[in-house]
Amino acid sequence: MPDRYTPAPMSSVCDAKVSPEQIATIKSRLVALRSGLAHRGQSAILITGDQDVRFLAGCFGHDTRILVLPTRAILISDRRYEEYLAPWQECGCFDVAIHGRPEQSKFLCEALAGAGLTQLGIQASHVTLDAKDALSKALKGIELVPVNGLLSELRMCKSAAEVSTIERAIGIQVEALAATLATIRLGMTEGQLAARLIYEMRIRGAECESFEPIVGSGPNASVIHHTPGDYPIGPGVLLIDWGARVDGLCSDLTRTFFLGEPDDEMKRVYTVVAEAHRAAIDACQVGTSTADVDAAAREVITAAGWGEQFAHSVGHGLGRDVHEQPFMGKTGDKVKLAAGMVVTIEPGIYLPGIGGVRIEDDILVTVDGPRVLSEELDSTLSAAILPLPQEGAM
């Protein structure tokens, strides 16, 4: 495999350091977060979303949280991550508080009291009702105030380093797909193909898959989010939706193949989806509404007579979560695209009992127009038609 996708050797936890570039990023994100809090009339927030913690601090760990106060930012965790978090204490951006779960509530009370605060912002989308009730009981005299959307807004536009990492994830998943396609045999199951795809991504440096791959053979390709199982792969349509996570950032692509020559209807479906895909990519301009991007694809598919068979939005934001802001639907929030946003474009047509076609690429919005991060993949009809594989289970 090419050297550019070979993972760098890992240093031990004891040798780990937070780089000057990471420190500068952490500091700028903390400044932006505090500015967003002030705009909402708040002074403190408890960050509990795993990917938000990773975005803000560059570290992660189960149940690791960040308490952001006006003049302090504190990573709160337990002994499982004490050694791992030591470099973040040393970098000067965070204090690190290591406590068991019962003591963490007491620490929160003391930290808020020390800052003279009587309110604490919480991420409502990441806190269950049970957790909120428990926190309310523990933090007597502290009002919990839902703060929604702040981290989502900060994460929408990606840095150059984040874009580069997403491109690396795409490179890994593209190589993994090529290796996996070489193993396809008629009679192997969708689940076996999905497992091979995960394996091929991981040995190339992915920390994990972005999501459980979707593999739909034949009529299963018409199920938009089909769960692969023991259904045998046979001649006809084969839809694969997969992604790799690298350094906390996701990629997400879909390709539809035909094992053997497709009939005229499926050729036409593929051609229309490809036209809609191109139209939506061309619409990804700075200042364009997400609803207008969706409309660009939907108009092509509707004009071809399959509007009712395009039953989802044209795409979504992509980053630390595989689905994040901005969401590219015809309804809901209508966000104007900005330079630095990374979005998926994934129109589809689904014919129940027959099959479906979806083509998905990852797009960077720039002042010079859209850049297809995954352009090395060929999505033409000729490239989608594969020779009929040999018989034989995996």
Tens digits of per-residue pLDDT, 75-93? 999 999 989 898 988 888 9
Per residue in 312-369, pLDDT (tens digit) is 999 999 999 999 999 998 876 689 999 999 999 999 999 999 999 999 999 999 999 9
Q: Give the mean pLDDT of 116-141.
A: 89
Q: Residue 280 above 60 pLDDT?
A: yes
Q: Give the mean pLDDT of 378-391.
A: 89
Cis peptide leading into residue 228 (ω within 30°): no
The chain-wide mean pLDDT, for the chain, equals 92
Per residue in 24-67, pLDDT (tens digit) is 999 999 999 999 999 999 999 999 999 999 999 988 877 899 99
Per residue in 231-278, pLDDT (tens digit) is 999 999 999 999 999 999 999 999 999 999 999 999 999 999 999 999
Q: Residue 174 above 70 pLDDT?
A: yes
Q: Residue 20 above 60 pLDDT?
A: yes
Confidence band for 11, pLDDT divided at 50, 70 and 90: very low
pTM reported for the whole predicted model = 0.92
Looking at residue 102, its pLDDT comes to 81
Question: Distance between CA 346 and CA 314 in Å, rounded?
Answer: 5
Picking from 81, 73, 135, the residue whose alpha carbon sits closest to that of residue 104 is 135
Per residue in 179-191, pLDDT (tens digit) is 999 999 999 999 9
- What separation in angstroms does the CA of 196 have from each of 78, 114, 344? 36, 53, 24
CB 72 within 8 A of CB 115: yes
Looking at residue 10, its pLDDT comes to 37
Looking at residue 89, its pLDDT comes to 86
Ramachandran angles phi, psi of 51, nearest 5°: -75, -25
Looking at residue 6, its pLDDT comes to 43
Question: Distance between CA 85 and CA 62 in Å, rounded?
Answer: 12
Ramachandran angles phi, psi of 181, nearest 5°: -60, -30
